[in-house]
Every structure is written in C-alpha cells, then in structure tokens.
C-alpha cells in the first residue's frame, strides 16, 4: 500500500461519515491513509487577519506533516488545500507533495470504477463554484466521478456560484438567498432529484433545503460511498432536520465533550438555520 496522509481539516469534524467513507475509499484504492486534522493540524485561515498567528500555525502544521515522513498529503478541505499552496508552503520547507482528494480519486478512476457496484438511481444537479478550479478542476472532474456510479445521471446546467465555496458568500448581504433561489430554479428546470455538493461547507448550507422538504441534498462522497456499499450514517443531516431537537439526538455526553456553551453558541444556531425558499 502507498502511504499517504489524509488531511481532513477542521470544519469537516461535523461529518464523521464523510471522513470514514473517504478513508475506506482510499484504502480500497490501496493507499495506506493516515487521518489527521482538527486544531492540531489547522491551516490557519481562521487567523488571516493576524498574520503573526497565522504564520505560526502554518509553521507548526507543516512541521507536523514533515515529521510524519510521508511523501504525500491529500487534502479534503478546499481552504486547507489552497492555503497550503498560497501561504503555508511558501514560507515553510515542505517535505511532502500536496494533492487534492478529487484529483487523487480521478487519477485512480480505473481502480475506483469496479468498486462502484451498487446502483444509485438518481438525477442530480451538481453545486459548482467558480473560484477553486485554479487549484483543482473539480467542476469537470466530479461529474465524471459521479457518472461512474451505476444509475447516476448528472444534469447539464450553466449555473456557477461565485467564490470558491459558500462560506465566501456569507459576508455579502442577500448572496446566500440568491444562491438558494438560483439552485432551486436550476434543479427544477433540469428535473433533478437531488442537489449534490462538492465541498462540505456548501453541503451544510444546502442541507437546510432537505430539512424543509424542498429537495434532497448529498455530498458527492455520500453517493460514491453508497455505491460501494458503505453504510455510514449522515448524522449531520439528521441533526439539521431535527433543528431544536438536535440536542436529544446528539446526547448530553457528546455535547459535554465539545462544551455546552460552544454547542449553544455555535452549533445549535447552525442546525436551526433554514434557507429562504422562494416561490418558483
């Protein structure tokens, strides 16, 4: 097996099913994938306003990757991947190659295809952004990966969301509402059964559509995993659908682990948030 480091980042910690599915897929492709992430391996984008702090976090994280002595780091998070290319790697001695997960899956698509044995009959609209494609051609490659799944049809559409993922829209008044309206219009016009995201942050933003009964929403890894027979539960979607009742599903023990104050301040409002559904 080829040793790699699978860098799942910080924000994807809400999506244990995605992390585990990615690891299973990588291992099935004959990669010895070592998972790392969380605060100890932060890329530092949260500290961009403080370059001293961001630089310190970058140096620490690159040093930890170097210490693992694995030739390749494979990133899940687009922020982590782009930040390594544009900031972290320019100021530090990187003793490893950097790859985005989509590119690795596509490069190994001949080995991936025979693993996709379970049909997933679904006509899907892929949620695509404009900004990340200079780092990885995800808008072209992810549809090709999805079309390898028996039963999946990716509809053709021209809508592309500004920025590199939905997090970049949050600071612009009305931008999220416009994205939701345009996405639903495109889904309706194309007769899509579901909306599929490339990035996990977009998935969290779109998941409210399913919580309100507008249209089912998945991440592309969910569909690859389903076709491979991987049955990890999407807990985030269940929490999102529960809204105010999410605490009962999560349980007091898990909430205590992350901190009651953090859960009530940061996570619960996110789970209760619902997008504005336009009249189409």
Q: In 173-273, where does DSSP find H-type helix? A: 175-190, 200-211, 220-228, 235-242, 246-250, 252-258, 260-262, 268-272
Cα→Cα distances 197→30, 119, 156, 170, 204, Å: 26, 19, 15, 17, 9
What would be the CATH architecture of the domain defined by 116-280? 3-Layer(aba) Sandwich (3.40)
How does pLDDT run across 103-153, given as a tens digit for each residue? 999 999 999 999 999 999 999 999 999 989 989 999 999 999 999 999 999
Going by C-alpha positions, the residue among 209, 159, 214 that lies closest to residue 182 is 159
What is the Cα–Cα distance from 123 to 218, expressed in whole angstroms? 12
Average pLDDT on 210-219 reads: 96
201 token code pair: 């942050």
Q: Domain locations in the chain? A: 2-107, 116-280
Going by C-alpha positions, the residue among 111, 112, 90, 108 that lies closest to residue 99 is 108
* pLDDT at residue 77 is higher than 80: yes
Higher pLDDT, 82 or 139: 139
Q: What is the DSSP letter of 161?
A: B
User: Which H helix or E strand runs over 259?
Assistant: none
Higher pLDDT, 48 or 269: 269
Average pLDDT on 88-112 reads: 93
Residue 86: the pLDDT is 82
Predicted model pTM: 0.95
Higher pLDDT, 258 or 73: 73
How does pLDDT run across 7-58, given as a tens digit for each residue? 999 878 899 999 999 999 999 999 999 999 988 888 877 555 556 676 788 8
For residue 279, name the pLDDT band (cuts at 50, 70, 90). Answer: confident
Average pLDDT on 69-75 reads: 96
Residue 239: the pLDDT is 97
The correct answer on CATH 3.40.50 for the domain covering 2-107 is yes
Average pLDDT on 235-241 reads: 97
Residue 49: the pLDDT is 53
Average pLDDT on 89-113 reads: 94
Residue 51: the pLDDT is 63
**Are 2-107 and 116-280 equal in CATH topology?**
yes
How does pLDDT run across 160-208, given as a tens digit for each residue? 999 989 988 988 999 999 999 999 999 999 999 999 999 999 999 999 9
């Amino acid at each position: 097996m080829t040793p790699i480091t699978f860098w799942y980042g910080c924000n994807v910690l809400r999506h244990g099913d995605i992390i585990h599915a990615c690891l299973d897929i990588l291992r099935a492709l004959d990669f010895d994938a070592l998972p790392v992430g969380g605060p100890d391996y932060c890329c530092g984008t949260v500290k961009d306003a403080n370059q001293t702090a961001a630089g310190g976090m970058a140096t620490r994280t690159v040093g930890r990757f170097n210490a693992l002595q694995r030739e390749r780091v494979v990133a899940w998070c687009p922020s982590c991947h782009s930040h390594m290319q544009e900031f972290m790697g320019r100021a530090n001695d990187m003793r490893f190659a950097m790859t985005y997960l989509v590119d690795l899956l596509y490069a190994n698509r001949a080995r991936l295809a025979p693993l996709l044995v379970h049909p997933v009959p679904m006509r899907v609209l892929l949620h695509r952004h404009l900004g990340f494609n200079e780092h990885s051609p995800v808008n072209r490659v992810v549809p090709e990966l999805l079309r390898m799944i028996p039963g999946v049809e990716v509809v053709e559409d021209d809508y592309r969301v500004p920025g590199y993922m939905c997090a970049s829209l949050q600071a612009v008044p009305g931008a999220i509402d416009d994205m939701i309206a345009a996405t639903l219009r495109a889904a309706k016009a194309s007769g899509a059964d579901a909306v599929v995201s490339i990035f996990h942050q977009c998935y969290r933003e779109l998941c409210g559509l399913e919580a309100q009964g507008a249209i089912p929403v998945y991440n592309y890894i969910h569909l690859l995993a389903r076709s491979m027979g991987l049955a990890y539960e999407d807990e985030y979607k269940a929490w999102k659908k529960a809204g105010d009742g999410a605490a009962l599903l999560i349980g007091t023990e898990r909430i205590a682990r992350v901190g009651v104050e953090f859960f009530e301040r940061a996570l619960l409002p996110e789970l209760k948030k619902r997008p504005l559904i336009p009249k189409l």
